[in-house]
Amino acid sequence: MMRGSIALAEGAITAGCRYYFGYPITPQNEISEHLSALLPEVGGVFMQAESEIASINMLLGAAAVGARAMTSSSGPGISLMQEGLSYMAGSELPALIVNITRLGPGLGGIAACQGDYWQATRGGGHGDYRIIVLAPNSVQEMYSLTIKAFHLADKFRNPAMILADAILGQMKEPVTLSPPEVEIPAKPWALTGAKGRNPQLIKSLFLADGEMEKHIRHMHEKYRRLEETEVLVETDLEEQMDLLLVSFGSCSRMVASAVALARSRGFRVGLVRPITLFPFPADTVRQVSRLAGKVLTVEMNTGQMWDDVRLSVYPGCQCRLLARPGGSIPTPYQILEEIEKFIKAGDSLAKSVR
């Protein structure tokens, strides 16, 4: 039994991460507190920086010299990190950024919500870039997707983010741990001193004519490869379906309960849970929505992933949204009610924010 935040910290250690830079913010402090004890024991470095701005830039420095490194924060802190994230994406630097979200805008509150979906999946900082976003929905995944995130970041030389919330951070569940990783992939681009080779440079500034377009096209080629090869999605489908539910992260747990309730009442429903939010499982949503005809998206925000769902569904599908922003959690019975109404109704594209 382990708390989600602790599982995430343990996952980082398993993945060979030895450097952490962060600044305290609720509700993710258990991650940094745990790592502050663990990292020195394994020869790593834990640093409490003076701000999230400093944290992300220390992370940038550590990534530039080839280390597996991470930071963690929550909404307001992640906002402060957007500048650094943009530079890291532009400089093609791999690292893990953890966002245990809280309510926003502003100081908001510390309850669980999914209001940072857009910020996470659209880049968040300035410029034409994406970051890899993984959304665990269990304590086991807090552990295993953290390891996966380091792999993907290194493989694609791009920052990766774990997007979770206080439900996942505070909850305890049994976790199966994997053996620690000893080898980190070679990073010939890393700065290690110009010994026996020409000096190397990590940068995101491209001033010459056409240079920046070339760079961005190169980056987007990576994003296309991510979409082709690295999509992670969980599906729970039936052969015949009258309705498809789409939900991610902690919210998908409530939806899974609602699916079980609906099936016990004879409704034929399926569930698609995007695990990678970028790359988004567009193909899965398209194919499965074609079978179901009706798609109900359930999120703890006012409808952010709903954009991606509507871009992905098979043309002509009816889409509805059950949205609970501001720290409210949709209950399985509330979702069930929505499922029932939608299956019995005939309209399309109706949006209900409760």
Partner 1 sequence: MDYYDVVFSGFGGQGILLAGDVLAHAAMLESKHVTWMPSYGVEMRGGAASCTVVISSERIGSPFAEAPCCLFCMSKPSLFKYQDKVKEGGLLIVNTSFVEASLVTRKDVTKICLPASEIAHQQVGEHKMANMVMLGMLINACKVVGMEKTEAAMEEIFSGSKKKTLPRMIRAVRCGYEWQPTADNGPIEGTLP
Partner 2 sequence: MQKVFARPATLRETGFHFCPGCHHGIAHRLLCETLDHFDLQEKAIGVPGVGCGVFLYDYVAIDTCEAPHGRATAVATGIKRVLPEHFVFTYQGDGDLAAIGIAEVIHTANRGENVTVLFINNSVYGMTGGQMAPTTLLGQRTTTSPSGRDHHNDGYPLRMTEMLAPLEGVAFAARVCLHTPAHVKKARRALQRAFEAQLDKRGFSFVEFLSACPTNWGLAPQQCIKHIDEKVLPAFPPGIYKDTGAGAGQDTGTEGE
Whether the Cβ atoms of residue 238 and residue 269 lie closer than 8 Å to each other: yes
Residue 333 binding partner 1, by CB under 8 A? yes
Lookup: tokens for 225: 């490869």
Residue 192 binding partner 2, by CB under 8 A? yes
Interaction partner, residue 177 (partner 1, partner 2, none; CB < 5-8 Å by kind): none
Least distance (Å) from partner 2 to the CB of residue 195?
Answer: 4
Residue 65 binding partner 1, by CB under 8 A? no
Rounded CA-CA distance 84/91 in Å is 10
Tell me which stretch binds partner 2 (CB under 8 A): 43-51, 208-216, 261-269, 324-332: 43-51
Rounded CA-CA distance 303/106 in Å is 19
Binding residue for partner 1, selected from 33, 83, 128, 173, defined by CB under 8 A? 173
Binding residue for partner 1, selected from 7, 25, 110, 147, defined by CB under 8 A? 110
Interaction partner, residue 134 (partner 2, partner 1, none; CB < 5-8 Å by kind): none
Residue 54 binding partner 2, by CB under 8 A? yes
Residue 53 binding partner 2, by CB under 8 A? yes
Residue 191 binding partner 2, by CB under 8 A? yes
Binding residue for partner 1, selected from 170, 204, 302, 328, defined by CB under 8 A? 170
Lookup: tokens for 192: 């290690």
Residue 174 binding partner 1, by CB under 8 A? yes
β-strands 2-3, 172-173: how paired? antiparallel
Residue 354 binding partner 1, by CB under 8 A? no
Is residue 127 left, alpha or beta, with left meaning phi > 0 and alpha meaning psi from -120 to 50?
left
> Edge-to-edge strand order for the sheet containing 132-134?
45-48, 19-22, 69-73, 96-101, 160-165, 132-134, 276-278
Residue positions counted in the chain: 354
Closest CA to 13 of 145, 181, 163: 181
Which DSSP letter does residue 184 get? P
Residue 76 binding partner 2, by CB under 8 A? no
Residue 171 binding partner 1, by CB under 8 A? yes
255-314 binders of partner 2 (CB under 8 A): none
Q: Which amino acid is at 104?
A: G
Tell me which stretch binds partner 1 (CB under 8 A): 40-48, 153-161, 222-230, 252-260: 252-260
Rounded CA-CA distance 155/44 in Å is 22
| Cβ contacts of 124 within 8 Å, gap of 6 or more | 78, 79, 82, 85, 86, 131
**Residues pairing with 98 in the sheet:** 72, 162
Least distance (Å) from partner 2 to the CB of residue 159?
Answer: 14
Residues near partner 2, by CB under 8 A = 19, 21, 45, 47, 49-51, 53-55, 57-67, 69, 83-84, 87, 91, 191-196, 199-205
Residues near partner 1, by CB under 8 A = 1, 27, 110, 166-167, 170-174, 253-260, 329, 331-333
